[in-house]
């Protein structure tokens, strides 16, 4: 019998163990109150360290408030379980059209052969191909990337039927062929090596072209698109380019088995030195407009160029949320976690985001919805275009299927170019009320916040087989740069009129407002942390007591809060799949980030507020080749950070996962000229770097940069 429950396309399950969790939180809260009470009632007399004491009180007040904020997402996390069989039973293949956006920006740090593997994995989704369109935005405006896309469009004719016939996973050819060979069992060895050779030859051609930086004349004759690069154009100064490489509406665009192919489009929006291009947000907005003419699907999914699809069912799964009759109409976007496939076991740089994925985003889901985190996200087109939630809103799921007897490809290409020009947005609401918001290093978070405040909810979906896998930062320098961008972006939202507490007041719940500020306050946390690591140490040297004596009963709440807070964080990490050492590395990285990235985040946010610097977006490298990062031009205001972190200063992880950094005259057994760098030393070297020196001496020895 059909009940309202059995009609639902997804279930919401709450996570167990909450009673115990809340009990623990209440005791920690009591401990914190005692600590604050002690601080407030034992202020020393003037001249006996009163200022330092009051500073400690302020720092502890800050930490307490921050701890309370982090509770907002831990109180009642949920897990969503989609029912794909029900979706199949009810809709069959009568599913909406979906547009997929991929952004790339730089053929050097995002190699075209990797980018097209992502594109191919998305084209091979288990989804009706005539309803799928994949768009690549190339902010590098590079003929090399276009060439790779052109290669991909022919390889797709073999790859997609191969994937579907043998039901293989993952569908990124780069990852599939580098994986275990057991997968070959599915098909005959002959067929397997045929397709593998085809793939290898293609990547070789692409890599050769990328190395040489030139396209052969005979290749250029194969596609009219190459003509766009005939003039003297460069990545910062060129006309808009849109090339439809596969037109899904064309009866002749079929794979080698005669099945329809998904539409494939290459776009490089116009760039001119005198116009600001607004980084990824600008690219996304151009894609929204260009796609509205070509396919205009009601659902838009977007990924970064390194985030390949690891799960062929993701589109159908996300539709379980949107098409659910009871709550689907309230859902603005469905966000998947950012998972990485290049993490080491113990996560030396604490990059795995596991706690954010498994705890915080699930918790946010229970209080209004996860943040939009820029990649692996499905949106309704309408909400990206600024629509407010209204009760009577009805989505037209049939939208997007274009009439077969329309203009020719060429006409469409010419028409959409005008939507990708520098001046198109002038005098419009684009970048503000329409599309992704401009002017913020975390365009995703601020856009998601605006969507939440327009009344929409969002859903966090994390299937056991990750939907997407990407490349996380692999070096200390990249980690710190990424976190500098993130902390700075979220802090600037916090200080702007979009501060979740003010902008969200009356529009989103208090707990979601608090959830946003967890990230908004990362940056200023650095100041408090600096105070807390420096002042007590100085006080110790001077003999000024800042903590109760061991014999005093007041020490108890300090010890209790310290231990329980850390034990819980350890438990949380372990339950999210981290190792003990991984947790330790994560804690260590928190300290490193707080005294470097986040501090720079604060400084740069303030500089921007004062109008002293402009926004930048340092694209993180997806290759671990040092030369590449050396060649990358660093934006002006990141110069300090880059100065300290650039490979020329040799701060990098050695394969043995130590910071084998500096040549040192400290003899250390078994390590030759290298020495392991402690966090304190790290900070010391940061400071030396800031002074622009290339050799220094501290109590451990003297160092010079190699």
Ligand X SMILES: O=c1ccn([C@@H]2O[C@H](COP(=O)(O)OP(=O)(O)O[C@H]3O[C@H](CO)[C@@H](O)[C@H](O)[C@H]3O)[C@@H](O)[C@H]2O)c(=O)[nH]1
Residues that bind Mn ion (CB under 5 A): 304
Rank residues 247 and 304 by Cβ distance to Mn ion and give the closer one.
304
Rank residues 192 and 519 by Cβ distance to ligand X and give the closer one.
519
Joined together, the tokens standing for residue 125 give 């989704």
DSSP 379-406: EEHHHHTTPPP-TT----TTTT---TTS
Min dist CB 279 to Mn ion, Å, is 13
Q: By CB under 6 A, is residue 305 in contact with ligand X? A: yes
Q: Check if the beta carbon of residue 80 is closer than 8 Å to that of residue 116.
A: no
Q: Which does 139 bind (CB under 5 to 8 A by kind): Mn ion, ligand X, none?
A: ligand X
For ligand X, how many residues bind (rule: CB under 6 A)? 24
Q: What are phi and psi of 663, to 5 degrees?
A: -70, 135
Joined together, the tokens standing for residue 677 give 């760098």
- Rounded to the nearest angstrom, the gap between the alpha carbon of residue 243 and the centroid of all alpha carbons in its chain is 27
Contact pattern from residue 282 through residue 301 relative to ligand X, giving x for each residue in contact according to CB under 6 A and a dash for the rest: -x------------------
Q: Check if the beta carbon of residue 444 is closer than 8 Å to that of residue 372.
A: yes
Q: Which does 442 bind (CB under 5 to 8 A by kind): Mn ion, ligand X, none?
A: ligand X
Q: By CB under 6 A, is residue 60 in contact with ligand X? A: no
Min dist CB 306 to Mn ion, Å, is 6
Joined together, the tokens standing for residue 634 give 């660093």
**What CA–CA distance (Å, rounded) separates 134 from 383?**
20
Q: By CB under 6 A, is residue 441 in contact with ligand X? A: yes
**Is 604 assigned a catalytic role?**
no
**What CA–CA distance (Å, rounded) separates 501 from 406?**
49
Rank residues 255 and 304 by Cβ distance to Mn ion and give the closer one.
304
Min dist CB 464 to ligand X, Å, is 22
Q: By CB under 6 A, is residue 482 in contact with ligand X? A: yes
**Is 444 assigned a catalytic role?**
yes
> Where in 368-427 is the site for ligand X (CB under 6 A)?
374-375
Min dist CB 301 to ligand X, Å, is 12
Min dist CB 114 to Mn ion, Å, is 12
Min dist CB 289 to ligand X, Å, is 15
Joined together, the tokens standing for residue 72 give 């907002």
How many CB atoms are closer than 10 A to CB 534? 11
Could you tell me which stretch among 157-165, 181-189, 278-286, 623-631 binds ligand X (CB under 6 A)?
278-286
Q: Which does 83 bind (CB under 5 to 8 A by kind): ligand X, Mn ion, none?
A: none
Min dist CB 483 to ligand X, Å, is 9
Indicate the burial class of 34 (C-beta count within 10 angstroms; 0-12, 13-18, 19 or more): middle
Rank residues 109 and 526 by Cβ distance to ligand X and give the closer one.
109
Q: Check if the beta carbon of residue 398 is closer than 8 Å to that of residue 316.
A: no
Could you tell me which stretch among 328-336, 389-397, 482-490, 630-638 binds ligand X (CB under 6 A)?
482-490
Q: Which does 485 bind (CB under 5 to 8 A by kind): ligand X, Mn ion, none?
A: ligand X
> Where in 124-143 is the site for ligand X (CB under 6 A)?
137, 139
Joined together, the tokens standing for residue 8 give 């639902």
Q: Which does 104 bind (CB under 5 to 8 A by kind): ligand X, Mn ion, none?
A: ligand X
Give kind and range of the element (H or E) at residue 517: helix 510-520
Min dist CB 362 to ligand X, Å, is 19
From the candidates 139, 324, 365, 578, give the one annotated as an active-site residue.
139
Rank residues 112 and 173 by Cβ distance to ligand X and give the closer one.
112
Among 25, 31, 104, 493, contact with ligand X (rule: CB under 6 A):
104
Residues 6+ apart with CB under 8 A from 480: 592, 593, 596, 597, 641, 645
Residue 97's alpha-carbon distances to 48, 144, 380, 630, in angstroms, are 71, 30, 11, 42
**What CA–CA distance (Å, rounded) separates 402 from 293?**
9
Among 619, 661, 662, 677, contact with ligand X (rule: CB under 6 A):
619
DSSP 549-575: -TTSTTHHHHHHHHHHHHHHHHHHHHH
Nearest 5 degrees, angle CA 299-CA 305-CA 310? 70
**What CA–CA distance (Å, rounded) separates 208 from 269?**
26
Q: Which does 280 bind (CB under 5 to 8 A by kind): Mn ion, ligand X, none?
A: ligand X
Joined together, the tokens standing for residue 313 give 């069912």
From the candidates 444, 578, 604, 638, give the one annotated as an active-site residue.
444
Residue written as tokens 């919401």? 12
Active site residue ranges: 139, 444
Interacting residues toward ligand X by CB under 6 A: 103-105, 110, 137, 139, 279-280, 283, 304-305, 338, 374-375, 441-442, 444, 482, 485-486, 489, 617, 619-620
């Amino acid at each position: 019998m059909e009940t309202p429950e059995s009609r639902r396309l997804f279930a919401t399950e709450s996570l167990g163990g909450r009673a115990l969790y809340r009990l623990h939180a209440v005791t920690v809260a009591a401990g914190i109150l005692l600590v604050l009470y002690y601080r407030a009632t034992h202020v020393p007399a003037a001249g006996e360290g009163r200022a330092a004491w009051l500073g400690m009180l302020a720092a502890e007040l800050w930490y307490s408030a921050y701890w309370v904020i982090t509770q907002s997402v831990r109180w009642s996390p949920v897990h969503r379980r989609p029912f794909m069989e029900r979706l199949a039973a009810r809709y069959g293949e009568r599913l909406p059209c979906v547009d997929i956006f991929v952004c790339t920006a730089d053929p050097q740090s995002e190699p075209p052969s990797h980018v097209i593997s992502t594109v191919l994995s998305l084209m091979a989704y288990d989804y009706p191909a005539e309803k799928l369109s994949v768009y690549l935005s190339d902010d590098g405006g590079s003929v090399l990337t276009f060439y790779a896309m052109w290669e991909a469009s022919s390889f797709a004719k073999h790859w997609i039927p191969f994937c579907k016939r043998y039901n293989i996973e993952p569908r990124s050819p780069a990852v599939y062929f580098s994986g275990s060979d057991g997968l070959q069992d599915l098909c005959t060895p002959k067929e397997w090596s045929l397709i593998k050779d085809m793939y290898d030859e293609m990547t070789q051609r692409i890599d050769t072209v990328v190395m040489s930086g030139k396209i052969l004349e005979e290749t250029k004759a194969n596609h009219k698109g190459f003509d766009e690069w005939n003039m003297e154009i460069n990545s910062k100064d060129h006309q808009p380019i849109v090339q439809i490489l596969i037109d899904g509406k064309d009866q002749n665009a079929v794979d080698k088995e005669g099945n329809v192919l998904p539409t494939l489009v290459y776009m490089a929006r116009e760039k001119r030195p005198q116009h600001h291009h607004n980084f990824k947000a600008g690219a996304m907005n151009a894609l929204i407009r260009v796609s509205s003419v070509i396919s205009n699907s009601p659902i838009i999914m977007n990924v970064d160029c390194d985030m390949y699809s690891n799960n062929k069912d993701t589109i159908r799964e996300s539709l379980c949320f949107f098409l659910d009759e009871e709550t689907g109409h309230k859902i603005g976007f469905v966000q998947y976690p950012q998972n990485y496939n290049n993490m080491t076991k113990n996560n030396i740089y604490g990059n795995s985001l596991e706690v954010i994925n498994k705890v915080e985003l699930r918790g946010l889901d229970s209080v209004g919805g996860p943040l939009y985190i820029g990649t692996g996200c499905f949106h309704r087109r309408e909400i990206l275009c600024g629509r407010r939630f209204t009760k009577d809103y009805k989505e037209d799921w049939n939208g997007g299927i274009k009439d077969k007897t329309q203009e020719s490809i060429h006409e469409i290409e010419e028409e959409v170019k005008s939507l990708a020009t520098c001046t198109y947005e002038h005098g419009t609401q684009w970048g503000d009320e329409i599309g992704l918001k401009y002017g913020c290093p975390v365009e995703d978070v601020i856009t998601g916040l605006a969507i939440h405040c327009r009344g929409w909810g969002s859903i966090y979906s994390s299937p056991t087989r990750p939907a997407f896998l990407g490349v996380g930062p692999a070096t200390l320098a990249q980690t710190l740069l990424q976190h500098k961008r993130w902390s700075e972006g979220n802090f600037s939202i916090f200080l702007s009129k979009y501060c979740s507490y003010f902008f969200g007041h009356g529009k989103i719940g208090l707990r979601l407002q608090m959830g946003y500020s967890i990230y908004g306050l990362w940056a200023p946390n650095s100041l408090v942390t600096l105070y807390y690591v420096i002042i007590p140490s100085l006080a110790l040297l001077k003999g000024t007591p800042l903590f109760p004596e061991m014999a005093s009963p007041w020490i108890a709440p300090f010890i209790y809060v310290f231990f329980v807070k850390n034990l819980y964080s350890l438990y949380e990490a372990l339950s999210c799949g981290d190792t003990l050492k991984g947790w330790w590395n994560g804690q260590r990285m928190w300290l490193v980030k707080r005294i470097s990235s986040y501090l720079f985040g604060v400084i740069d946010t303030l500089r921007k507020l004062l109008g002293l610097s402009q926004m930048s977006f340092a694209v993180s490298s997806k290759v671990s080749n040092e030369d590449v990062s050396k060649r990358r031009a660093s934006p002006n205001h990141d110069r300090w950070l880059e100065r300290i972190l650039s490979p020329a200063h040799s701060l990098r992880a050695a394969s043995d996962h130590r910071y084998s950094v500096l040549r040192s005259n400290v003899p250390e057994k078994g390590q030759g000229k290298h020495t392991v760098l402690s966090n304190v030393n790290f900070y010391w070297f940061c400071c030396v770097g800031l002074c622009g020196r290339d050799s220094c001496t501290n109590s451990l020895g003297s160092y010079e940069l190699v």
